[in-house]
Amino acid sequence: KAGVTQTPRYLIKTRGQQVTLSCSPISGHRSVSWYQQTPGQGLQFLFEYFSETQRNKGNFPGRFSGRQFSNSRSEMNVSTLELGDSALYLCASSQTRYEQYFGPGTRLTVT
């Protein structure tokens, strides 16, 4: 099976702009989770979607939002970008709660 894919792989945005990142899970996986990875904070959970519904949410401001489509593909959106939003955003899909399969990530740089 093809692995988790994320697009774009790299992105440069300016403060105040908004950005949308995309994640395509492994075929058959209905759960998609998003994580933010930074040198200072490590890997932090953003949210999880299952069957188009948000199942879990981390402690991030409302500027971070997401959605999932009927084909399980997911997008996350960050509005009003801040410098501190610069990070690697990882998407992971799963079929069971015992293992998550991670994508390569989207490297977002906010200038």
Q: Which residue has the tokens 């702009």?
A: 17
Determine, following the binding rule CB under 8 A, whether residue 1 of this chain makes contact with other proteins.
no
Query: Which of 58/86 has CB closer to other proteins?
Result: 58
Q: Which residue has the tokens 């953003």?
A: 46
Phi and psi at residue 12, in whole multiples of 5°? -120, 125
Interacting positions 21-40 with other proteins (CB under 8 A): 31, 33, 35
Q: Which residues are near other proteins by CB under 8 A?
A: 3-4, 31, 33, 35, 42-45, 48, 50, 55-56, 58, 90, 92, 94, 97-104
